Amino acid sequence: MPNPTSELSTDGSPNAATKPQADSETGSETESETESETDSETDSESNNQQVGQAARGTALNLIGAVCTAVVSFVTVGLITNNYAPAGAGLFFAATAAFTLAAQAARLGSEAGLTYFVARLRATDDQGRIRSLVTTALLATGVVSALFGLVGLVFANPLAKLLSDNTSNHDELTLMIRVLAIAVPAYAMSQAMFGATRGFGTMRPSVLSGQIIRPLAQLAFVTIAIVMSGEVWPLAVAWAAAAIVAWIPVSWWLRSRVRRISKPSTSFGLNHYWRFAAPRAMADLVSSLLERLDVILVAMLINEAGAGLYGTSNRLILAGQMMMMATSQSMAPHLSASFAQGRNQDARNILQTVSGWNVVLLWPVFICLGFGAETTLSLFGADFADAEPLVVVLSIGLLIVIALGMGDTLLLMTGDSVVSLVNHVIGLAVMVGISVVTLPRIGVVGAAWAWAASRIVLRLLAAIRVWRTKGIHAIGPPVLTAMAIAAAAYIPLGAALYNLLGSSWTTVFLHVGLGSALYLGAVTRFRSTLEVDQLLNVVARRKR
């Protein structure tokens, strides 16, 4: 990370060398030019170092995201192939309520700890980190315990709200009570992930959240399916995995905080809560955005519809996880850059990593949109009706990916109040479209609502950051990656599926031939896309 004491102007660029006067000696001009060249070289090295740091975090997070996506795909496949859509929908509704409660209980601590820990380290004020972490985790622990207690006490009314089928109430009540026990572990681990990222490392959050937790979910779900034909043991598997994942990250954070050598000083509560309180409300709204769609489908249609929609939504999990991987990797670097007035560095990181997102994810979701029918066959014959949902979700995600980091970028500028307003608008869009479309066009209306709400949320965040900081994600890396991905996969996919129809042969031909064209184009434009740094980091990690 560049030295925070470097001489930078307010826009993050090096202070311009004073131009020599007309009567200056030649030696003065030469000295001035040398200083200017040195400053330019330093600025270039600084930018490369920032991108390199983002690449290291992004590479590790991408490995974790791929692991999560693959393992989650297998887990959902096990569930859907062993239970009918109604049973799967019942489980998805229960886990949606669990995740909603746990994420709301964070009280903005995940983003708040990333934001403040990174800034305190960048400004060499680490003595206040211990007080900051204690404040955030204590608040999260108390509130998450209260939420868990509410789930235990009011599980039956919640079950009646989520399902109008009285035969499912007892099983759903039991699932809610089991999951309520794990709410504190899930909420605390999410808050701790934010703190570890603030320390400039992705390893604890990747290991615990993206490797240990999904693998534990798969193992426990497999055991539940083998030992019982009922749905409720799946909730035990989910709760146990949340508790298992909480243990290593709590150990790492405790050890890291103890190693701070500077004397401990108080972190102002007012300063923290001015950022975290709006973010806590935004977390609640964000959780509603992420999980309310499944609940609305269960309430306005039925559990089978929730099963179809929940399965379709899991198919785009890979894209969401990879976007989260890159945004989490960028967050501490962006926060530090803004804290030191290096907006130009922030712009370079943002545009480069946003380009990587398009490079990695556009091919996946273009191919998924074309091959939705065939891919859904992996989940069982009952899920073929979800093809239109997957197509809509894939198209929506392509647009979201192209718009950059969105809310993560906005939060690293410190604008948590605007983030809250944006989330409220996004939630209103999702609920409004769902209520209007679900009774009329069925479960596909939830997919339209999801896509519209996410696009609105990204646009609002991007416009705000552009107006306040003068930076945005749309640059040569993003535009180049979009153009070559669209050219390599879309015409080819249209031709193959029209000629051969939907089958695994068509899917493999589309992916194989399109990837050959795409990799050639990426190699041709590798300098613009800056993929060498990312590939080098991945290669080093593999060795």
Spell out the residues 6+ positions from residue 212 whose beta carbon is closer than 8 angstroms to its own.
244, 245, 248
Task: Assess if residue 34 is contained within a domain.
Answer: no
CB neighbour class for 512 (10 Å; exposed up to 12, middle 13-18, buried from 19): exposed
> In total, how many domains does the chain have?
1
Domain ranges, residue 181: 44-542
Amino acid at 156: N
- b/e code 278-317 from CB counts within 10 Å (16+ = b): bbbbbbbbbbbbbbbbbbbbbbbbbbbbbbbbbbbbbbbb
Residue 518: the pLDDT is: 93
| Residue 356 CB-density burial (10 A; 0-12 exposed, 13-18 middle, 19+ buried) | buried
* Residue 38, in any domain of the structure: no
User: Residue 185 has what pLDDT?
Assistant: 93
Whole-number Cα distances in Å, 500 to 171, 368, 506: 45, 17, 7
**Rounded to a whole number, what is the distance in angstroms from the first to the last CA of the chain?**
25
Q: How far is residue 498's CA from residue 510's CA, in Å, rounded to a whole number?
A: 12
Flag whether 212 is in a domain.
yes
Residue 413 lies in a domain: yes
In-domain check, residue 426:
yes
Question: CA nearest 379: which of 93, 91, 74?
Answer: 74
> Which amino acid, 526?
R
Q: Is residue 177 part of a domain?
A: yes
Q: Is the separation of the CB atoms in 455 and 430 below 8 Å?
A: no
pLDDT per position as a tens digit, 242-297: 999 999 999 999 998 888 888 778 887 777 888 888 877 877 787 777 767 777 78
- The SS3 of residue 458 is helix
Q: Which residues of the chain have pLDDT under 70?
A: 1-62, 164-166, 291, 302-304, 317-319, 321-322, 324-332, 380-382, 533-543
User: Tokens 């069982």 label which residue?
Assistant: 380
Q: What is the pLDDT of residues 136-191, one digit of tens each?
A: 999 999 999 999 999 999 888 888 877 766 677 888 888 999 999 999 999 999 99
Residue 205: is it exposed, middle or buried by C-beta count within 10 angstroms (0-12/13-18/19+)?
buried
Given a contact cutoff of 8 angstroms between Cβ atoms, the answer to whether 429 and 453 are in contact is yes
Domain assignment present for 91: yes
Owner of token pair 């009314």:
157
Distance between CA atoms of 327 and 407, rounded to whole angstroms? 9
Alpha carbons 268 and 473: distance in angstroms, whole number: 33
Residue 160 falls inside a structural domain: yes
